[in-house]
Amino acid sequence: MGMINLINDIVWGTPALVMMLSAGILFTAGTGFFQFRHPIHWLKCTVFSSSKNHSSQNSLSQFEAMSSALAATLGTGNIAGVSAALASGGAGAVFWMWISALFGTMTGFAENVLGIYYRRSDEKGKWHGGAMCYIEGGLSEKRYTRLLAKPLAVLFAVLCVLSAFGMGNMVQMNSAAGALQNSFSIPPIITGVSLAAAEAFIIFGGAKKTGSVTAKLVPFMSGFYILGSLWLIAENITRLPGVFGAIFEGAFGIDAVGGGISGYLIKQAISIGFRRGIFSNEAGLGTSVAAHAAAEVTEPCVQGMWSIFEVFFDTIVMCSLTAVVLLAAPCTAPTAEEAFASVSTRPQYFRLTESDGIITSGAPMISTLSPTEEISFRTVYKTSFDMGISRSGNTFSNLMCIQGIQRTDSAGRPEFLDADKKVPLIDSVIISEVNGAQLAAYAFSQTFGNAAGMLLAAAVTMFAFSTVLGWSGFGSQAAVYIFGNKAEKPFKWIFIIVTAIGAVIDFSAAWSISDMINGLMAIPNLIALFLLSPKVFEITRNYCRRIFHQESIKPMLSVYTSHSNRHVAPYKKAAPDTSQKRL
Protein backbone atom coordinates (compact mmCIF):
# COMPACT_ATOMS: atom_id res chain seq x y z
CA MET A 1 0.00 0.00 0.00
CA GLY A 2 2.90 2.35 0.65
CA MET A 3 4.03 2.23 -2.98
CA ILE A 4 0.46 2.62 -4.26
CA ASN A 5 -0.09 5.67 -2.07
CA LEU A 6 3.21 7.14 -3.25
CA ILE A 7 2.19 6.73 -6.90
CA ASN A 8 -1.22 8.22 -6.14
CA ASP A 9 0.45 11.24 -4.56
CA ILE A 10 2.35 11.73 -7.81
CA VAL A 11 -0.33 11.01 -10.43
CA TRP A 12 -2.98 12.88 -8.42
CA GLY A 13 -0.68 15.62 -7.21
CA THR A 14 -0.91 19.29 -8.05
CA PRO A 15 0.64 19.00 -11.57
CA ALA A 16 -1.82 16.25 -12.56
CA LEU A 17 -4.85 18.13 -11.22
CA VAL A 18 -3.72 21.30 -12.98
CA MET A 19 -3.36 19.30 -16.19
CA MET A 20 -6.89 17.88 -15.85
CA LEU A 21 -8.43 21.26 -15.14
CA SER A 22 -6.37 22.89 -17.89
CA ALA A 23 -7.71 20.39 -20.42
CA GLY A 24 -11.28 21.27 -19.49
CA ILE A 25 -10.58 25.01 -19.61
CA LEU A 26 -8.73 24.65 -22.93
CA PHE A 27 -11.58 22.85 -24.65
CA THR A 28 -14.17 25.13 -23.06
CA ALA A 29 -12.42 28.27 -24.32
CA GLY A 30 -11.34 26.74 -27.64
CA THR A 31 -14.90 25.74 -28.51
CA GLY A 32 -16.31 29.13 -27.54
CA PHE A 33 -17.74 27.97 -24.19
CA PHE A 34 -19.97 25.56 -26.08
CA GLN A 35 -21.50 23.84 -23.02
CA PHE A 36 -22.56 27.19 -21.52
CA ARG A 37 -23.64 29.00 -24.71
CA HIS A 38 -25.67 26.20 -26.30
CA PRO A 39 -27.36 24.18 -23.52
CA ILE A 40 -30.72 24.12 -25.32
CA HIS A 41 -29.05 22.88 -28.49
CA TRP A 42 -27.11 20.02 -26.90
CA LEU A 43 -30.16 18.94 -24.95
CA LYS A 44 -32.26 18.92 -28.15
CA CYS A 45 -29.57 16.92 -29.91
CA THR A 46 -29.33 14.36 -27.11
CA VAL A 47 -32.06 13.35 -24.64
CA PHE A 48 -34.76 15.35 -26.47
CA SER A 49 -33.75 14.25 -29.95
CA SER A 50 -36.37 12.53 -32.13
CA SER A 51 -33.72 10.31 -33.76
CA LYS A 52 -31.81 9.28 -30.64
CA ASN A 53 -33.02 5.67 -30.96
CA HIS A 54 -32.06 5.16 -34.62
CA SER A 55 -29.64 2.28 -35.09
CA SER A 56 -28.57 -0.35 -37.60
CA GLN A 57 -27.54 -3.99 -37.46
CA ASN A 58 -23.88 -3.20 -36.78
CA SER A 59 -24.22 -0.05 -34.70
CA LEU A 60 -25.92 1.34 -31.63
CA SER A 61 -28.39 4.17 -31.48
CA GLN A 62 -27.01 7.40 -30.03
CA PHE A 63 -28.97 6.80 -26.82
CA GLU A 64 -27.76 3.19 -26.53
CA ALA A 65 -24.16 4.30 -27.01
CA MET A 66 -24.54 6.97 -24.32
CA SER A 67 -26.30 4.48 -22.03
CA SER A 68 -23.43 2.01 -22.41
CA ALA A 69 -20.98 4.78 -21.50
CA LEU A 70 -23.15 6.12 -18.68
CA ALA A 71 -23.70 2.59 -17.36
CA ALA A 72 -19.96 2.38 -16.80
CA THR A 73 -19.70 5.75 -15.07
CA LEU A 74 -22.86 5.38 -12.96
CA GLY A 75 -21.21 2.98 -10.56
CA THR A 76 -20.49 2.76 -6.89
CA GLY A 77 -18.44 5.94 -7.29
CA ASN A 78 -21.71 7.88 -7.23
CA ILE A 79 -22.49 6.47 -3.79
CA ALA A 80 -19.41 4.99 -2.15
CA GLY A 81 -17.01 7.41 -3.89
CA VAL A 82 -18.94 10.51 -2.83
CA SER A 83 -19.17 9.20 0.74
CA ALA A 84 -15.40 8.72 0.77
CA ALA A 85 -14.89 12.20 -0.68
CA LEU A 86 -16.92 13.82 2.10
CA ALA A 87 -15.15 11.83 4.79
CA SER A 88 -11.67 12.68 3.44
CA GLY A 89 -12.10 16.10 1.86
CA GLY A 90 -15.04 17.54 3.76
CA ALA A 91 -18.07 19.26 2.28
CA GLY A 92 -15.83 21.52 0.19
CA ALA A 93 -14.92 18.54 -2.00
CA VAL A 94 -18.44 18.72 -3.47
CA PHE A 95 -17.78 22.19 -4.93
CA TRP A 96 -14.62 21.01 -6.66
CA MET A 97 -16.48 17.98 -7.97
CA TRP A 98 -18.86 20.44 -9.61
CA ILE A 99 -16.01 22.45 -11.11
CA SER A 100 -14.33 19.33 -12.44
CA ALA A 101 -17.63 18.28 -14.05
CA LEU A 102 -18.50 21.65 -15.63
CA PHE A 103 -15.15 21.85 -17.37
CA GLY A 104 -14.96 18.07 -17.73
CA THR A 105 -18.02 18.14 -19.98
CA MET A 106 -15.85 19.63 -22.71
CA THR A 107 -12.98 17.25 -22.05
CA GLY A 108 -15.48 14.43 -22.63
CA PHE A 109 -16.81 16.29 -25.67
CA ALA A 110 -13.29 16.48 -27.14
CA GLU A 111 -12.64 12.79 -26.47
CA ASN A 112 -15.76 11.69 -28.30
CA VAL A 113 -15.39 14.14 -31.17
CA LEU A 114 -11.99 12.57 -31.80
CA GLY A 115 -13.36 9.10 -31.08
CA ILE A 116 -16.02 9.36 -33.80
CA TYR A 117 -13.65 11.07 -36.23
CA TYR A 118 -10.92 8.41 -35.96
CA ARG A 119 -12.98 5.26 -35.36
CA ARG A 120 -12.84 2.40 -37.85
CA SER A 121 -15.00 -0.48 -39.07
CA ASP A 122 -13.97 -4.03 -39.85
CA GLU A 123 -14.86 -6.17 -42.85
CA LYS A 124 -18.24 -6.99 -41.25
CA GLY A 125 -19.10 -3.33 -40.76
CA LYS A 126 -18.67 -3.52 -36.98
CA TRP A 127 -17.33 -0.37 -35.38
CA HIS A 128 -14.06 -0.33 -33.44
CA GLY A 129 -12.99 2.69 -31.46
CA GLY A 130 -11.56 4.05 -28.27
CA ALA A 131 -9.01 6.57 -27.11
CA MET A 132 -6.20 4.36 -28.42
CA CYS A 133 -7.57 4.80 -31.95
CA TYR A 134 -7.48 8.60 -31.89
CA ILE A 135 -4.18 8.60 -30.03
CA GLU A 136 -2.60 6.55 -32.82
CA GLY A 137 -4.67 7.97 -35.65
CA GLY A 138 -4.41 11.64 -34.76
CA LEU A 139 -0.80 11.73 -33.62
CA SER A 140 0.37 9.80 -36.69
CA GLU A 141 -0.87 12.61 -38.97
CA LYS A 142 1.79 15.03 -37.71
CA ARG A 143 5.48 14.47 -38.28
CA TYR A 144 6.53 15.85 -34.91
CA THR A 145 4.13 13.55 -32.97
CA ARG A 146 4.38 10.42 -35.11
CA LEU A 147 6.90 8.68 -32.87
CA LEU A 148 4.59 9.08 -29.87
CA ALA A 149 1.52 7.64 -31.57
CA LYS A 150 1.91 3.89 -31.17
CA PRO A 151 3.63 3.81 -27.74
CA LEU A 152 1.03 6.10 -26.15
CA ALA A 153 -1.85 4.20 -27.76
CA VAL A 154 -0.55 0.83 -26.54
CA LEU A 155 0.15 2.21 -23.05
CA PHE A 156 -3.40 3.51 -22.82
CA ALA A 157 -4.88 0.23 -24.04
CA VAL A 158 -2.87 -1.82 -21.52
CA LEU A 159 -3.95 0.44 -18.63
CA CYS A 160 -7.55 0.31 -19.87
CA VAL A 161 -7.52 -3.50 -19.73
CA LEU A 162 -6.10 -3.42 -16.19
CA SER A 163 -8.66 -0.83 -15.14
CA ALA A 164 -11.46 -2.92 -16.64
CA PHE A 165 -10.56 -5.83 -14.37
CA GLY A 166 -10.04 -3.61 -11.31
CA MET A 167 -12.19 -0.49 -11.16
CA GLY A 168 -14.65 -1.73 -13.78
CA ASN A 169 -15.17 -5.18 -12.34
CA MET A 170 -13.71 -6.34 -9.01
CA VAL A 171 -14.39 -3.09 -7.17
CA GLN A 172 -17.99 -3.01 -8.36
CA MET A 173 -18.71 -6.67 -7.60
CA ASN A 174 -17.16 -6.40 -4.15
CA SER A 175 -19.44 -3.46 -3.35
CA ALA A 176 -22.51 -5.26 -4.71
CA ALA A 177 -21.73 -8.48 -2.82
CA GLY A 178 -21.16 -6.58 0.43
CA ALA A 179 -24.41 -4.66 0.06
CA LEU A 180 -26.47 -7.78 -0.65
CA GLN A 181 -24.84 -9.72 2.18
CA ASN A 182 -25.48 -6.95 4.73
CA SER A 183 -29.08 -6.34 3.68
CA PHE A 184 -30.34 -9.72 2.48
CA SER A 185 -27.78 -12.17 3.96
CA ILE A 186 -26.96 -13.40 0.45
CA PRO A 187 -23.56 -15.14 0.45
CA PRO A 188 -21.02 -13.32 -1.76
CA ILE A 189 -20.38 -16.47 -3.79
CA ILE A 190 -24.06 -16.58 -4.78
CA THR A 191 -23.94 -12.92 -5.81
CA GLY A 192 -20.75 -13.43 -7.80
CA VAL A 193 -21.93 -16.50 -9.69
CA SER A 194 -25.41 -15.10 -10.38
CA LEU A 195 -24.20 -11.75 -11.70
CA ALA A 196 -21.41 -13.42 -13.69
CA ALA A 197 -23.99 -15.65 -15.39
CA ALA A 198 -26.23 -12.68 -16.21
CA GLU A 199 -23.21 -10.76 -17.44
CA ALA A 200 -22.15 -13.65 -19.73
CA PHE A 201 -25.62 -13.79 -21.30
CA ILE A 202 -25.50 -10.08 -22.07
CA ILE A 203 -21.94 -9.39 -23.18
CA PHE A 204 -21.71 -12.44 -25.45
CA GLY A 205 -24.73 -10.99 -27.21
CA GLY A 206 -22.41 -8.27 -28.48
CA ALA A 207 -22.52 -4.49 -28.29
CA LYS A 208 -26.13 -4.45 -29.50
CA LYS A 209 -27.29 -6.63 -26.59
CA THR A 210 -25.26 -4.60 -24.07
CA GLY A 211 -26.57 -1.33 -25.49
CA SER A 212 -30.15 -2.58 -25.41
CA VAL A 213 -29.90 -3.71 -21.78
CA THR A 214 -28.16 -0.56 -20.52
CA ALA A 215 -30.65 1.67 -22.39
CA LYS A 216 -33.35 0.15 -20.16
CA LEU A 217 -31.32 -0.28 -16.97
CA VAL A 218 -29.80 3.22 -16.77
CA PRO A 219 -33.10 5.20 -16.78
CA PHE A 220 -34.67 2.77 -14.30
CA MET A 221 -31.87 2.73 -11.74
CA SER A 222 -31.25 6.47 -12.09
CA GLY A 223 -34.93 7.29 -11.54
CA PHE A 224 -35.05 4.89 -8.58
CA TYR A 225 -32.11 6.59 -6.88
CA ILE A 226 -33.21 10.15 -7.74
CA LEU A 227 -36.69 9.70 -6.24
CA GLY A 228 -35.32 8.24 -3.01
CA SER A 229 -32.75 11.02 -2.67
CA LEU A 230 -35.25 13.82 -3.36
CA TRP A 231 -37.63 12.38 -0.79
CA LEU A 232 -34.92 12.39 1.88
CA ILE A 233 -33.78 15.90 0.93
CA ALA A 234 -37.37 17.15 1.11
CA GLU A 235 -37.59 15.75 4.65
CA ASN A 236 -34.61 17.94 5.60
CA ILE A 237 -35.17 20.93 3.35
CA THR A 238 -34.71 23.42 6.18
CA ARG A 239 -31.10 22.27 6.51
CA LEU A 240 -30.19 23.06 2.88
CA PRO A 241 -28.89 26.61 3.54
CA GLY A 242 -26.44 25.19 6.05
CA VAL A 243 -25.47 22.42 3.64
CA PHE A 244 -24.53 24.81 0.83
CA GLY A 245 -22.85 27.12 3.33
CA ALA A 246 -20.67 24.22 4.46
CA ILE A 247 -19.87 23.31 0.84
CA PHE A 248 -18.62 26.80 -0.04
CA GLU A 249 -16.83 27.31 3.27
CA GLY A 250 -15.01 24.01 2.85
CA ALA A 251 -14.20 24.67 -0.81
CA PHE A 252 -12.25 27.82 0.02
CA GLY A 253 -10.69 26.56 3.22
CA ILE A 254 -12.78 28.63 5.63
CA ASP A 255 -12.33 26.99 9.00
CA ALA A 256 -15.74 27.14 10.62
CA VAL A 257 -14.26 26.25 14.03
CA GLY A 258 -10.98 28.11 14.22
CA GLY A 259 -11.75 30.96 11.84
CA GLY A 260 -9.52 32.18 9.02
CA ILE A 261 -8.41 30.41 5.86
CA SER A 262 -6.76 27.00 5.95
CA GLY A 263 -4.49 26.08 3.05
CA TYR A 264 -4.63 22.44 4.12
CA LEU A 265 -8.45 22.39 3.93
CA ILE A 266 -8.34 23.94 0.45
CA LYS A 267 -5.78 21.40 -0.76
CA GLN A 268 -7.74 18.47 0.66
CA ALA A 269 -11.06 19.69 -0.78
CA ILE A 270 -9.60 20.30 -4.25
CA SER A 271 -7.59 17.09 -4.39
CA ILE A 272 -10.36 14.81 -3.12
CA GLY A 273 -13.10 16.63 -5.05
CA PHE A 274 -11.26 16.40 -8.36
CA ARG A 275 -10.19 12.82 -7.75
CA ARG A 276 -13.68 11.60 -6.90
CA GLY A 277 -15.31 13.70 -9.63
CA ILE A 278 -13.04 12.26 -12.30
CA PHE A 279 -13.39 8.77 -10.83
CA SER A 280 -17.13 9.11 -11.22
CA ASN A 281 -17.54 10.79 -14.63
CA GLU A 282 -14.20 9.63 -16.11
CA ALA A 283 -13.75 12.83 -18.16
CA GLY A 284 -10.11 12.94 -19.20
CA LEU A 285 -9.61 9.19 -18.91
CA GLY A 286 -10.82 8.40 -22.43
CA THR A 287 -12.76 5.34 -21.33
CA SER A 288 -16.24 6.16 -22.64
CA VAL A 289 -14.98 6.65 -26.19
CA ALA A 290 -15.18 2.92 -26.93
CA ALA A 291 -18.94 2.95 -26.25
CA HIS A 292 -19.68 6.17 -28.12
CA ALA A 293 -17.67 5.02 -31.14
CA ALA A 294 -20.29 2.35 -31.85
CA ALA A 295 -23.05 4.95 -32.35
CA GLU A 296 -25.01 5.28 -35.58
CA VAL A 297 -23.75 8.78 -36.38
CA THR A 298 -20.97 10.20 -38.52
CA GLU A 299 -21.16 13.75 -37.19
CA PRO A 300 -18.47 13.88 -34.44
CA CYS A 301 -19.99 16.85 -32.61
CA VAL A 302 -23.38 15.15 -32.27
CA GLN A 303 -21.93 12.27 -30.26
CA GLY A 304 -19.67 14.72 -28.46
CA MET A 305 -22.77 16.47 -27.14
CA TRP A 306 -23.99 13.17 -25.70
CA SER A 307 -20.79 13.18 -23.65
CA ILE A 308 -21.64 16.65 -22.32
CA PHE A 309 -24.94 15.30 -21.05
CA GLU A 310 -23.28 12.17 -19.70
CA VAL A 311 -20.76 14.04 -17.53
CA PHE A 312 -23.34 16.58 -16.41
CA PHE A 313 -25.85 13.92 -15.37
CA ASP A 314 -23.30 11.70 -13.66
CA THR A 315 -21.68 14.32 -11.44
CA ILE A 316 -23.84 17.45 -11.27
CA VAL A 317 -27.01 15.40 -10.77
CA MET A 318 -26.24 11.96 -9.34
CA CYS A 319 -23.15 12.68 -7.23
CA SER A 320 -24.69 15.88 -5.91
CA LEU A 321 -27.76 14.01 -4.71
CA THR A 322 -25.61 11.64 -2.64
CA ALA A 323 -23.60 14.53 -1.23
CA VAL A 324 -26.64 16.60 -0.25
CA VAL A 325 -28.30 13.56 1.33
CA LEU A 326 -25.24 12.92 3.51
CA LEU A 327 -24.87 16.59 4.42
CA ALA A 328 -28.55 17.35 5.05
CA ALA A 329 -29.77 14.26 6.88
CA PRO A 330 -29.16 14.41 10.64
CA CYS A 331 -27.18 11.57 12.17
CA THR A 332 -29.07 10.08 15.13
CA ALA A 333 -26.59 7.33 15.99
CA PRO A 334 -25.96 6.81 19.70
CA THR A 335 -22.79 7.97 21.40
CA ALA A 336 -19.76 5.73 21.87
CA GLU A 337 -20.58 5.33 25.56
CA GLU A 338 -24.08 4.13 24.73
CA ALA A 339 -22.80 1.74 22.06
CA PHE A 340 -20.23 0.18 24.39
CA ALA A 341 -22.90 -0.30 27.03
CA SER A 342 -24.89 -2.61 24.76
CA VAL A 343 -22.34 -4.48 22.66
CA SER A 344 -23.62 -7.60 20.95
CA THR A 345 -22.56 -9.82 18.08
CA ARG A 346 -24.73 -7.66 15.86
CA PRO A 347 -23.00 -4.64 14.23
CA GLN A 348 -24.08 -1.34 15.80
CA TYR A 349 -23.38 2.25 14.78
CA PHE A 350 -22.25 5.12 16.98
CA ARG A 351 -21.00 8.67 16.60
CA LEU A 352 -17.36 9.42 17.32
CA THR A 353 -16.83 12.69 19.17
CA GLU A 354 -13.79 14.57 20.41
CA SER A 355 -14.27 13.14 23.90
CA ASP A 356 -13.99 9.55 22.73
CA GLY A 357 -10.20 9.23 22.72
CA ILE A 358 -10.48 6.32 25.15
CA ILE A 359 -11.61 4.15 22.21
CA THR A 360 -8.14 4.21 20.69
CA SER A 361 -6.24 3.83 23.96
CA GLY A 362 -6.58 0.05 24.13
CA ALA A 363 -7.76 0.34 27.74
CA PRO A 364 -10.16 -2.31 29.05
CA MET A 365 -13.79 -1.41 28.43
CA ILE A 366 -16.61 -2.37 30.79
CA SER A 367 -20.07 -3.06 29.44
CA THR A 368 -23.23 -4.39 31.05
CA LEU A 369 -24.42 -7.14 28.74
CA SER A 370 -26.94 -8.59 31.12
CA PRO A 371 -28.79 -7.34 34.19
CA THR A 372 -26.55 -9.37 36.46
CA GLU A 373 -23.05 -9.50 35.02
CA GLU A 374 -20.41 -7.13 33.70
CA ILE A 375 -17.90 -8.18 31.05
CA SER A 376 -14.40 -6.77 30.80
CA PHE A 377 -13.19 -6.34 27.24
CA ARG A 378 -9.64 -7.60 27.59
CA THR A 379 -8.80 -7.00 23.92
CA VAL A 380 -9.87 -4.11 21.77
CA TYR A 381 -8.35 -4.56 18.34
CA LYS A 382 -8.59 -3.26 14.77
CA THR A 383 -8.89 0.26 16.16
CA SER A 384 -6.86 2.01 13.48
CA PHE A 385 -9.07 4.80 12.22
CA ASP A 386 -9.06 8.55 11.79
CA MET A 387 -9.86 10.43 14.98
CA GLY A 388 -10.22 13.73 13.14
CA ILE A 389 -13.59 15.30 13.86
CA SER A 390 -15.30 16.83 10.83
CA ARG A 391 -15.42 20.61 10.66
CA SER A 392 -17.50 20.59 7.50
CA GLY A 393 -20.90 20.10 9.03
CA ASN A 394 -21.08 16.57 7.68
CA THR A 395 -22.63 14.67 10.57
CA PHE A 396 -21.91 11.32 8.94
CA SER A 397 -18.15 11.66 8.53
CA ASN A 398 -17.45 10.24 12.00
CA LEU A 399 -19.82 7.28 12.01
CA MET A 400 -18.30 4.12 13.49
CA CYS A 401 -19.37 0.50 13.77
CA ILE A 402 -18.81 -1.76 16.76
CA GLN A 403 -19.35 -5.51 16.78
CA GLY A 404 -18.72 -7.95 19.59
CA ILE A 405 -16.75 -11.15 19.09
CA GLN A 406 -18.10 -14.15 20.97
CA ARG A 407 -15.68 -16.16 23.09
CA THR A 408 -15.07 -19.78 22.15
CA ASP A 409 -13.71 -22.65 24.23
CA SER A 410 -10.69 -24.81 23.42
CA ALA A 411 -12.81 -26.91 21.07
CA GLY A 412 -13.98 -23.85 19.16
CA ARG A 413 -17.53 -23.94 20.59
CA PRO A 414 -19.18 -20.56 21.35
CA GLU A 415 -19.65 -19.69 25.01
CA PHE A 416 -22.69 -18.04 26.56
CA LEU A 417 -23.50 -16.14 29.74
CA ASP A 418 -26.70 -18.06 30.53
CA ALA A 419 -27.71 -21.70 30.66
CA ASP A 420 -30.29 -21.19 27.90
CA LYS A 421 -27.51 -20.05 25.55
CA LYS A 422 -29.27 -16.86 24.55
CA VAL A 423 -26.72 -14.29 25.76
CA PRO A 424 -23.32 -14.70 24.04
CA LEU A 425 -20.14 -14.22 26.05
CA ILE A 426 -18.23 -11.40 24.37
CA ASP A 427 -14.57 -10.85 25.15
CA SER A 428 -13.45 -8.50 22.38
CA VAL A 429 -14.83 -6.08 19.85
CA ILE A 430 -14.09 -4.89 16.34
CA ILE A 431 -14.34 -1.15 15.78
CA SER A 432 -14.33 0.09 12.20
CA GLU A 433 -15.01 3.32 10.36
CA VAL A 434 -18.25 3.36 8.36
CA ASN A 435 -17.68 4.58 4.83
CA GLY A 436 -18.82 4.12 1.26
CA ALA A 437 -22.20 2.61 0.43
CA GLN A 438 -22.69 1.52 4.06
CA LEU A 439 -22.55 5.18 5.12
CA ALA A 440 -25.15 6.19 2.53
CA ALA A 441 -27.37 3.27 3.59
CA TYR A 442 -27.37 4.50 7.18
CA ALA A 443 -28.24 8.03 6.05
CA PHE A 444 -31.20 6.73 4.05
CA SER A 445 -32.32 4.62 7.02
CA GLN A 446 -32.90 7.82 9.01
CA THR A 447 -35.91 8.49 6.77
CA PHE A 448 -36.89 5.13 5.30
CA GLY A 449 -36.17 2.92 8.31
CA ASN A 450 -34.79 -0.59 8.03
CA ALA A 451 -36.02 -0.91 4.46
CA ALA A 452 -33.46 1.73 3.42
CA GLY A 453 -30.61 -0.74 3.58
CA MET A 454 -32.46 -3.11 1.28
CA LEU A 455 -33.40 -0.37 -1.17
CA LEU A 456 -29.88 1.02 -1.29
CA ALA A 457 -28.41 -2.47 -1.60
CA ALA A 458 -30.57 -2.97 -4.67
CA ALA A 459 -29.44 0.40 -6.04
CA VAL A 460 -25.76 -0.36 -5.39
CA THR A 461 -26.13 -3.74 -7.11
CA MET A 462 -27.74 -2.18 -10.19
CA PHE A 463 -25.12 0.57 -10.35
CA ALA A 464 -22.32 -1.96 -9.95
CA PHE A 465 -23.73 -4.38 -12.52
CA SER A 466 -24.26 -1.64 -15.10
CA THR A 467 -20.68 -0.49 -14.58
CA VAL A 468 -19.40 -4.00 -15.18
CA LEU A 469 -21.41 -4.21 -18.41
CA GLY A 470 -20.02 -0.91 -19.64
CA TRP A 471 -16.43 -1.74 -18.74
CA SER A 472 -16.65 -5.14 -20.42
CA GLY A 473 -16.97 -3.22 -23.68
CA PHE A 474 -14.18 -0.76 -22.87
CA GLY A 475 -11.74 -3.50 -21.90
CA SER A 476 -12.75 -5.67 -24.84
CA GLN A 477 -12.00 -2.90 -27.34
CA ALA A 478 -8.63 -2.26 -25.71
CA ALA A 479 -7.78 -5.97 -25.79
CA VAL A 480 -8.75 -6.18 -29.47
CA TYR A 481 -6.55 -3.18 -30.20
CA ILE A 482 -3.54 -4.85 -28.57
CA PHE A 483 -3.99 -8.47 -29.67
CA GLY A 484 -6.47 -8.35 -32.56
CA ASN A 485 -10.02 -9.71 -32.94
CA LYS A 486 -8.95 -13.12 -31.61
CA ALA A 487 -8.60 -11.60 -28.12
CA GLU A 488 -12.25 -10.58 -27.77
CA LYS A 489 -13.73 -13.87 -26.58
CA PRO A 490 -10.86 -14.83 -24.23
CA PHE A 491 -11.03 -11.37 -22.67
CA LYS A 492 -14.76 -11.72 -22.06
CA TRP A 493 -14.38 -15.15 -20.45
CA ILE A 494 -11.63 -13.91 -18.14
CA PHE A 495 -13.71 -10.83 -17.35
CA ILE A 496 -16.66 -13.03 -16.33
CA ILE A 497 -14.46 -15.18 -14.10
CA VAL A 498 -13.04 -12.07 -12.45
CA THR A 499 -16.62 -10.92 -11.76
CA ALA A 500 -17.27 -14.04 -9.67
CA ILE A 501 -13.91 -13.75 -7.91
CA GLY A 502 -14.36 -10.04 -7.16
CA ALA A 503 -17.50 -10.76 -5.16
CA VAL A 504 -15.76 -13.02 -2.66
CA ILE A 505 -12.21 -11.71 -2.13
CA ASP A 506 -11.14 -9.01 0.30
CA PHE A 507 -10.38 -5.99 -1.85
CA SER A 508 -9.72 -3.40 0.84
CA ALA A 509 -7.13 -1.57 -1.29
CA ALA A 510 -9.61 -1.23 -4.17
CA TRP A 511 -10.04 2.52 -4.12
CA SER A 512 -6.33 3.28 -3.91
CA ILE A 513 -5.46 0.86 -6.72
CA SER A 514 -8.28 2.21 -8.88
CA ASP A 515 -7.16 5.78 -8.30
CA MET A 516 -3.63 4.81 -9.31
CA ILE A 517 -4.67 3.16 -12.58
CA ASN A 518 -7.05 6.04 -13.36
CA GLY A 519 -4.28 8.54 -12.88
CA LEU A 520 -1.83 6.58 -15.00
CA MET A 521 -4.42 6.04 -17.75
CA ALA A 522 -5.14 9.75 -17.92
CA ILE A 523 -1.52 10.60 -18.78
CA PRO A 524 -1.33 9.24 -22.38
CA ASN A 525 -4.90 10.35 -23.03
CA LEU A 526 -4.34 13.94 -21.87
CA ILE A 527 -1.08 14.20 -23.82
CA ALA A 528 -2.95 13.20 -26.97
CA LEU A 529 -5.87 15.55 -26.22
CA PHE A 530 -3.58 18.55 -25.84
CA LEU A 531 -1.71 17.71 -29.05
CA LEU A 532 -4.95 17.08 -30.97
CA SER A 533 -6.84 20.08 -29.60
CA PRO A 534 -6.51 22.01 -32.92
CA LYS A 535 -8.39 19.17 -34.65
CA VAL A 536 -11.18 19.35 -32.04
CA PHE A 537 -11.48 23.11 -32.52
CA GLU A 538 -11.50 22.74 -36.31
CA ILE A 539 -14.26 20.12 -36.26
CA THR A 540 -16.33 22.13 -33.76
CA ARG A 541 -15.97 25.38 -35.75
CA ASN A 542 -17.02 23.52 -38.88
CA TYR A 543 -20.13 22.24 -37.09
CA CYS A 544 -21.05 25.61 -35.59
CA ARG A 545 -20.65 27.41 -38.94
CA ARG A 546 -22.98 24.92 -40.63
CA ILE A 547 -25.58 24.65 -37.87
CA PHE A 548 -25.68 28.06 -36.18
CA HIS A 549 -24.61 30.29 -39.10
CA GLN A 550 -26.11 28.25 -41.95
CA GLU A 551 -22.91 28.30 -43.99
CA SER A 552 -22.65 25.93 -46.94
CA ILE A 553 -19.32 24.28 -46.26
CA LYS A 554 -18.15 20.69 -46.46
CA PRO A 555 -18.81 18.86 -43.16
CA MET A 556 -15.97 17.20 -41.28
CA LEU A 557 -17.39 13.73 -40.70
CA SER A 558 -15.82 10.47 -39.56
CA VAL A 559 -12.62 9.45 -41.33
CA TYR A 560 -12.95 6.06 -42.97
CA THR A 561 -10.61 6.18 -45.95
CA SER A 562 -7.25 4.50 -45.59
CA HIS A 563 -5.27 7.06 -47.59
CA SER A 564 -5.36 9.61 -44.78
CA ASN A 565 -4.87 7.11 -41.96
CA ARG A 566 -2.67 4.30 -43.24
CA HIS A 567 -1.64 3.50 -39.70
CA VAL A 568 -5.10 2.14 -38.84
CA ALA A 569 -6.76 -0.52 -40.94
CA PRO A 570 -9.10 -1.74 -42.16
CA TYR A 571 -11.48 1.14 -42.95
CA LYS A 572 -14.78 0.99 -44.68
CA LYS A 573 -16.71 3.84 -46.23
CA ALA A 574 -19.76 4.67 -44.16
CA ALA A 575 -23.25 5.44 -45.38
CA PRO A 576 -24.38 9.10 -45.34
CA ASP A 577 -25.40 10.39 -41.94
CA THR A 578 -29.17 10.78 -41.98
CA SER A 579 -29.14 12.39 -38.55
CA GLN A 580 -28.02 15.66 -40.16
CA LYS A 581 -31.58 16.26 -41.36
CA ARG A 582 -32.76 16.92 -37.85
CA LEU A 583 -30.12 19.55 -37.16
Return the HEC string of 502-539. Answer: HCCCCCCCHHHHHHHHHHHHHHHHHHHHHHHHHHHHHH
pTM over 0.75, yes/no: yes
Q: What is the pLDDT of residue 546?
A: 93
Kindly provide the residue ranges of all beta strands, DSSP E only, lying in 213-316, ordered along the sequence: none
Average pLDDT over the chain, rounded to an integer: 76
Q: What is the pLDDT of residues 251-296, one digit of tens each?
A: 876 654 444 455 656 666 777 777 767 666 777 888 888 878 877 7
Cα 422 to Cα 338, 349, 418, 573, distances in angstroms: 22, 22, 7, 75
Closest CA to 246 of 269, 223, 222: 269
Q: What is the pLDDT of residue 368?
A: 35
Q: What is the pLDDT of residue 59?
A: 60
Q: CA-CA distance, 307 to 84, in Å (whole number)?
A: 25
Contacts of 134 (CB under 8 A, 6+ apart): 111, 114, 115, 117, 118, 289, 528, 532
Q: What is the pLDDT of residue 125?
A: 67
CATH of 2-30+65-120+128-330+448-567, one of 1.10.3470, 2.60.40, 1.20.1740, 3.60.21: 1.20.1740
Annotate 341-388 with DSSP letters as a single string.
TT--SS-EEEE--TT-GGGGTT--EEEE-SSS-EEEE-EEE------P
Give pLDDT < 70 ranges for the chain: 1-2, 50-60, 71-77, 80, 87, 122-125, 206-208, 253-268, 276, 278-280, 352-398, 433, 435-437, 506-511, 559-583
User: Are the beta carbons of 161 and 482 closer than 8 angstroms?
Assistant: yes
Q: What is the pLDDT of residue 220?
A: 81
Q: CA-CA distance, 223 to 145, in Å (whole number)?
A: 45
Collapsing DSSP states into helix, strand and coil, what is residue 287? coil
All CATH 1.20.1740 domain ranges of the chain, comma separated, are: 2-30+65-120+128-330+448-567
Kindly provide the residue ranges of all beta strands, DSSP E only, lying in 8-72, ordered along the sequence: none
Instruction: Classify residue 372 by burial, with Cβ atoms within 10 Å: 0-12, 13-18, 19+.
Output: exposed
Closest CA to 401 of 350, 453, 331: 350
Rg value, the chain, Cα: 25
Q: CA-CA distance, 78 to 172, in Å (whole number)?
A: 12
Q: What is the pLDDT of residues 442-497, one digit of tens each?
A: 777 777 777 777 777 887 788 888 888 888 888 998 998 998 888 989 999 999 99
